[in-house]
Each structure stands twice: as structure tokens, then as C-alpha cells.
Structure 1
């Protein structure tokens, strides 16, 4: 009970973040208390921390890389391109937002979509006089659903990559079809659900000085993405490829005086990285004191389609109960021995499932704050109805697509 209480308090603080205090303010003392009370041994705590260090290092590097891309104008250029291509059509704009959000989520992680793209979506909608609701909700949903493709798209993916034993390219190959299916389901539901908003009159954007395409930044991004594949084949942690890309853009920003060392350090969000490490220790305590046995008893064995669907459903339920990151940490030890199929099925559950509730994903909670800062309050009814319309169908169809891919690719 002590370990569950520590997890509950930690997650409650992370959800509310009073006075904008970092999540680590409660998570670190909670992890220390779990060790002090014997809920987790120091050896187990250190082992969990050591396993998470490369993942957390990657998180810091990719957050820094995403912020540098934003500073170089990449996100604004994407918004300008969508505004020009849609020709004043909210429906075309929705398609453009889906494409941009899916791409940014896949390459720069869901945090980049939530933190850096959402404000651009607001600005682009205002530029053509469109109602922002469909497009802003799309950034929240795709931050979760479109994070299935690459190991670097989500912190949960990096954890799953390590547990699955797959290479970067093998992971992407197996998740490509589930990723496309998830985006397709979301798009069809959004078109229908927001039909009135999309039919509202809008106008072509005013002629303005177009934002130049940051060619250098795009080149660094492409090389970084290639580096992820190369490091995977070489057995090297992807953090080094992400760090290389961040260093190149960071040195350039410092040389041009576009940023300062302090700003770069803040972009890496080290307090959040510390929170993830502490959360790993707390979840380890919960797993060691009963949750691990319960999960092992409930999860089915094998990689048949019914087994994968069951794993996905359990993962989605757990993500909405205790948040997707703790759910991933708790599930992986149980599903990893069964092979990559169940690991990836669990990943579909913890990535897509959080679109059902606000608390399922830290990214969704962050999205709420950003939307609120733009003078809009997300409607719980809209969010829940969208979740009910998209999540069950996406879970079933994406998992079926995963199973089909495993049968075809072996």
C-alpha cells in the first residue's frame, strides 16, 4: 500500500503541478522514501535508474533538438505551408495539420507536437479565420496516436525498443502499418465529429512575407534520423545520434547569438528527466510489491491475435489508471519474455489509450495547459466523446495491423 500511495501522490502532483513546480519536487522524495521504507531495495533502485539513464539522456537531447528546430523557424514554416496549401479551407487545413503533426511526432517526439506545434496551429487557424477546435484537438490526439512509428517518437517507445530486442528499422517496419491505421481512424472520426466547425466559413490567408524553409535545420534532422538507424545497427544507444544533432544546432545557435547556454540547458528540461528517473524507482517498488504478480496473472501468453488484442486492452486500461509511462514500466517485464509482438501490442495500448482521458498521458496534461494559455478551455465532454469514438477502434485495428505485419515480415 505504501508504494501505491507514493505513486498516487507523485502522479497527482504531476497532474496538478501547483505553482508550476517541477514534477521532481515530489517524485524524488517519494523515490527516496520507497527505498528508505524497504519497498524497493537500493540495488533494485540503482539497477532501474541505470537502465533508464540512456532513455532519459535521449529525452533531454530530443527536447533540446526540438526547441532548436523551433528557434530556427521550422514549425512556423510548417504552419505557413499549411495556410498556403489549404487556400482558406478548414477541411484542407485539418489534413495539413494531421500530416505535419504526424511527421513531427514521429521524428521529434510527441512533446514537440504538444509544446511547439500547438501554438502554431492556433496562429494558423486565426490566419485563415477558421475555428481552431478541430485542429487543436488534432494536435493532442496525434501526439499520442502518431507516436507509434519510430523508437524516438515517444519515451515509451524507447523503453519498448530496449525490451523487445528489435533494431530501429525493424521496429519502424513493424509499426508502420499500425501507425497509418491509427492516423486514418483519427482523421475519419475528426472529419465527421467536427463537420460543423469545418464547414464554417474561412478565407485565404493574407499575403505575407513567407517564412523561409530552414534548409540547414532540415538537413541536420534528416542526418539525425539516419543516425538513429545507424546507431541501432551498430548496437549504440540512439542518445548519441540525438545528441550529435542537438550539438550541431546548439553550437550554431550560440555562434549566431540566437540562444544562450542557460536557454539551451532549460530546453533540455532536466527537472522532468529527473522526474522520470524517480518515477522509475517508484514504479519498481509498486511492481515488486504485488502489481507485477497481478499483471503476470492477467496477461495472456503467446502472440496470437486474441492474445495481442488482450495485451493492448490491458495496457490501455492501465495507462488510463496510472498514466502511460508508469504503465509501460510496469508492463514491460511481464510482456518482454513473450517476444516483440506482445511488447509492441502493449505499446499500442499505452500510446493510443491515453486519448481516452486527460490523465492517461503527461503530454495531454501539458496540452491542456498550453490550450488554456491561449484563452481556450478544452471541453471534457468533447475530449471524452472523441476518445470513445477513436480509441477502441484504433486499438483493435492497429493491433490487427501489427499482427498482420508480424505474419508477413516474420
Structure 2
């Protein structure tokens, strides 16, 4: 509820900015065209993952991973690493942090293992494994739009190297810090029977078809929305009690909407100039480290989303000519044509 209240306050502030002319209606229209597909995707993918979790899909996968480990803790842990990476990359970081982590913790305790290394694995990888694809992270979707709609393949080509490093570092850290816990053995417990096999299989099929659709190049909200509708219909038939208002991430949508509007107004009022002075200019290593440092401090001090929105105009990867082209595009605000150029490799936080 606190998130929603903050979002409402931000929307009120944004409305005042529009009413006073601080945020031109043209800029608000451009913002709307940019963010509605992103917010619709967030809603749809949340419904998909919540309903898949209700069907027991993540528990089923985790229990099979425990069986494949054959009593070797390190093998179960590596399976957890793989599962966390796949969930984060294709189904977003929230799926891993909110839905997968509790399943993994329960599984570790069920096997008589300390849950800490498994919980750290999913929580850390929910953050660091979310760099590779646009669908992995809300800020990635914003960055992909800012980069001119590269598509999943083009975006991954830019981020694959740092994404691999971002995955390897926490994995190695956990391996070193918890090596005593990971090189033990466990007893494989009995698998729980699914409460509704039809719902479980249906959810698995929908998610299995959704994953390749998300990287097919089609706008991601389309397959996500289709999957959400199919799963909602299936759940309504098999387990109607699982359909509840809480499935919709309305608090996040209200908060993000308000944040988008307020940050757009702040940029109109001079935030871009302030952030440019703080983050500096240039594309050499020192300049990029400075930008990365400002981004890191901002994201940890406030949140990654407002930090990205504040820094995006000064980290825009456009040459002078491409910025002029952007500004002259029908429906684009001329204010967006005054962004400082940066290397394209700095946009995907």
C-alpha cells in the first residue's frame, strides 16, 4: 500500500506540473506512447508468473532439480543457479526474487541443507542476471526503447559480455564463501504430488511457448498478454479461487506511472543539466567509470528506476546527427534532441 500511496502522490505532482505548464502536453503524450507497452508487459508477465506459481510449476521444477542432483549439494546448487538465471532472463527479476526464492528455500530445508547459500543465489542473480534481455528488467525495456528498438538479439549483443561477468561474480562469491555447505550430500525426499496435474501441465506449456515468443522480436507485451489471458481462462476453469485482484501489480503500476511523469517534468525543469554536471561528459574509460559510479550511487540511494530515468538523457547513445533526427521525428519533443552523446554500452543498467 505504501508504494501505491507514493505513486498517487507522484501522479498528483505530475498533474500539477502539467497544469502549470512545467510539463508540456506534447511531452506527456510522447511519454505515454513510450511507457504504456512496458507497463502492460509488466502486468501481463506478473499475472503469468503468479498463476504459474499457483499451479505449482516452480515447485515442480525445483523438486526435479533436487532429484537430478542425486544427493550432491553442489549439483543441486548449480541447478539452482541455472534456474535462477533462466527465470530472471526470460521471466524478469521479480519472478526470481519473489516467486522462486521461497520455493528454493523450502526445497533446501526439505533436503536438510542450510538455506542461506540457495537464498543468496536466487536473490543475487535476480539482480545481476537481469542484464541480458529487455524483458529481464523494467529499466532494460526503457533502455531498449532509448536505443532505437534494437530487439532482443541486438540488445543481447550489447550486453552479453557484462551480463556473463555479472552472473559469474556472485556465483563465484557464493561458491567461495559457502564452499563447506555446498560440498556435502543430502537425502532426496519424496516429491509432492501436484494438486491439479491439468493446471500444472497447462501452465508449463504456456510458459514454455512464452519464452521463445519473448525473444522472437515481436513486441513483448503481445505474447505476454496472450499468455496471461490463456492462463487466466485455464485457471478460471480449474481453480477459480486463484483469480484474485492481488494478481495484478497495480501498486507497482501506479508508482511507476507517477514516477515516469514526475521525472519527465523534472527533466523539463532542468534535471538533465544537473545530472550532466554530476556525471560529466565524454566516452573515455574515466568518463564511463564516473557515469557508472554516479549511476551506482543513485540506484542504491534511491532506486534503480528513478536513477535510470534521471541519467538516461545524459547517457543517451546518439551522435549529434541522430539526435537531430530524433528531435525532428513527428510527435517527438525538441527537448529530447539536446541529449549528450555517450557510448551505447552504458545504457543497459
Q: TM-score, normalised by structure 2?
A: 0.82
- Of residues 301, 312, 324, the one that matches 1:332 is 312
- Partner residue in 1 for 2:88: 105
- Partner residue in 1 for 2:174: 190
Say yes or no: does 1:217 pair with 2:230: no
Contact 2:271 2:310 in 1 (8 A): yes
Write out aligned runs for 1:118-197 (5 A): 118-165=101-148, 166-197=150-181
Cα distance per residue 1:170-226 (max 9 Å; x no partner): 112322232222111111111112234435x55212233566795543432343233
Question: 1:274 deviation in Å?
Answer: 1.4
Cα 1:218/1:262, change in 2 over 3 Å: closer
Distance in structure 2 (CA, Å) of the matches to 1:162 and 1:111: 21
Cα distance per residue 1:223-267 (max 9 Å; x no partner): 3233334444xxxx32112101111222221122x235852x431
Distance in structure 2 (CA, Å) of the matches to 1:222 and 1:333: 37
Distance in structure 2 (CA, Å) of the matches to 1:281 and 1:104: 30
Moved more, 32-41 or 123-132: 32-41
Say yes or no: does 1:255 pair with 2:256: no
Distance in structure 2 (CA, Å) of the matches to 1:209 and 1:230: 35
Say yes or no: does 1:345 pair with 2:335: no
Distance in structure 2 (CA, Å) of the matches to 1:181 and 1:347: 14
Contact 2:314 2:342 in 1 (8 A): no
- Partner residue in 2 for 1:270: 250
- Of residues 36, 41, 65, the one that matches 2:23 is 41
Q: Which runs of 5+ in 1 are unaligned?
A: 1-20, 349-410
Question: 1:270 deviation in Å?
Answer: 1.7
Moved more, 334-343 or 97-106: 334-343
Distance in structure 2 (CA, Å) of the matches to 1:29 and 1:91: 48
Cα 1:46/1:261, change in 2 over 3 Å: farther
Distance in structure 2 (CA, Å) of the matches to 1:143 and 1:290: 34
Cα distance per residue 1:326-377 (max 9 Å; x no partner): 01111222222437974542423xxxxxxxxxxxxxxxxxxxxxxxxxxxxx
- Of residues 55, 71, 75, the one that matches 1:92 is 75
Distance in structure 2 (CA, Å) of the matches to 1:210 and 1:261: 19
Alignment partner of 1:148: what SS?
Answer: coil
Alignment partner of 2:162: what SS?
Answer: helix
Alignment partner of 2:133: what SS?
Answer: coil
Cα 1:344/1:78, change in 2 over 3 Å: farther
Q: TM-score, normalised by structure 1?
A: 0.71
- Partner residue in 1 for 2:42: 59
Distance in structure 1 (CA, Å) of the matches to 2:342 and 2:202: 38
Moved more, 118-127 or 291-300: 291-300
Distance in structure 2 (CA, Å) of the matches to 1:318 and 1:126: 37
Write out aligned runs for 1:305-324 (5 A): 305-324=285-304
Distance in structure 2 (CA, Å) of the matches to 1:24 and 1:47: 24
Contact 1:303 1:338 in 2 (8 A): no
Q: How many residues align?
A: 321
Instruction: Give the number of the structure whose residues are more often helix, by fraction.
Output: 1
- Partner residue in 1 for 2:221: 239
- Partner residue in 2 for 1:228: 214
Distance in structure 1 (CA, Å) of the matches to 2:21 and 2:92: 33
Please give the root-mean-square deviation of Cα atoms over the aligned residues, in Å: 2.7
Contact 1:145 1:183 in 2 (8 A): yes
Alignment partner of 2:135: what SS?
Answer: coil
Distance in structure 2 (CA, Å) of the matches to 1:96 and 1:319: 30
Q: Which runs of 5+ in 2 are unaligned?
A: 320-340
Question: 1:140 deviation in Å?
Answer: 1.3
Cα 1:266/1:343, change in 2 over 3 Å: farther
- Partner residue in 1 for 2:322: none
